[in-house]
Amino acid sequence: MPRLIRPSRAEQNAMRRQFYEQIRHGDMTLPDAMKAMREITGLTQAEFAANRGVSRRVIQDIERGTGNPTVESLNSIAKLFGLRVGLVPIRRGEGGAQTQTLAPTPTSE
């Protein structure tokens, strides 16, 4: 897969602000968050995985929504953005159905 075009610093900052805002509101699923983090950095799945110390398959499966990553892997990935994995409340979706939104929580480090 060809290398992604790396966003400019201004584009990265704008993408990061939007990313953190979506996380703050619980509007981002884990696959969406993974894709967003990778797009902000401008890295391919393989490059991002190598940078975070996990396998490409872990990144691939998370982005597909089929992965079962360890908390350790998720924290390794999220640390780049000053985040850690945490529990989030289950939101009520349309029609009263419950939907679970997974989002890393900001670290206090």
- Taking each helix axis from N to C end, the angle separating 30-41 and 9-24, rounded to the nearest 10 degrees, works out to 160
pLDDT tens, 30-68? 999 999 999 999 999 999 999 999 999 999 999 999 989
What are the tokens at 43?
Answer: 């890295």
CATH code of residue 39: 1.10.260.40
Q: Is residue 83 part of a domain?
A: yes
For residues 54 and 90, the model is more confident at: 54
Judged by DSSP in three states, 29 sits in coil
| Phi and psi, residue 3, nearest 5° | -65, 140
Q: How many domains does the chain have?
A: 1
Mean pLDDT of the chain: 84
Under 8 Å between Cβ of 22 and 16: no
Q: How far apart are CA 71 and CA 19, in angstroms?
A: 20
Q: Is residue 2 part of a domain?
A: no
